[in-house]
Amino acid sequence: MTDVFKAAAGHLRQEAEQNLGVRIGSGQAHNLVAAALGYKSAAALRADFRSCCDDPWLGQKPANVSAIANLITRMQEPAVTPSQAALIGEIVLDGLTPACAICGTMDRTNFPLGNVEPGDTRKEHEWTCRTCAKNDNGLDVCHCCGPIVIFRVEDIDDKGLCEMHKGEFDFDLDEERDAESLIEYWENH
């Protein structure tokens, strides 16, 4: 089992214990993660991902809720019920998504910092949660990229531009600096 699946199984076990009050065994948790991704078993999942190990975008697709429900009905002494399949799917997606680099939250609505195309796995990126993005937690936006793309403060130069747009435009700092834009944007999304 590669790290991303291990992390998702661990997250599922922790959430189940804290929020559902049930203990899911390690084997069951790994099989539930596999089911959420549409696989019959953890072994089948592992076989398919032998070459591709830690895709950070796995949590962005919908979970296969019926596969989770089917698995639970086939389980011996399941810790959870088929009616909890949708919830389990959401927890698995949270666990498959990279944790927020600022606060550590695992949430499927986390997103990568900087200019990263969805699905880009070419290099490892830091991800952040929406709460940290909203709270301006050492994060900033680039005047050119707009409010959707969030950067570390240190990755934005004194003209308010990212590495990609550095030197491209000659903004007047006093007139263009709009510290509210980040907060406003995230309050509405």
The site for Zn ion (CB under 5 A) is made up of: 100, 102-103, 105, 129, 132, 142, 144-145, 162, 164-165
Q: What's the N-to-C CA distance of the chain in angstroms?
A: 35
d(C-alpha 24, C-alpha 31), whole Å: 11
Shortest Cβ 130–Zn ion spacing (Å): 8
d(C-alpha 165, C-alpha 160), whole Å: 9
Q: Which is nearer to Zn ion, 68 or 93 (CB)?
A: 93
Q: Which is nearer to Zn ion, 69 or 162 (CB)?
A: 162
Across-strand partners of 139? 152
Q: Which is nearer to Zn ion, 49 or 94 (CB)?
A: 94
The percent of the chain in helix, strand and coil, each rounded to the nearest 5, is 45, 10, 45
Q: Which is nearer to Zn ion, 22 or 153 (CB)?
A: 153
Tokens (6 digits) for 150: 């969030």
Shortest Cβ 152–Zn ion spacing (Å): 13
DSSP H or E run through 56 = none
Shortest Cβ 175–Zn ion spacing (Å): 18
Shortest Cβ 48–Zn ion spacing (Å): 31
Residues in the chain, how many?
Answer: 189
Q: Which is nearer to Zn ion, 96 or 132 (CB)?
A: 132
C-alpha pair distances (Å), 92 with each of 45, 101, 162, 169: 14, 19, 33, 43
Shortest Cβ 170–Zn ion spacing (Å): 15
Q: Which is nearer to Zn ion, 71 or 162 (CB)?
A: 162
Three-class SS state of 66: helix
Shortest Cβ 72–Zn ion spacing (Å): 31
d(C-alpha 104, C-alpha 99), whole Å: 5
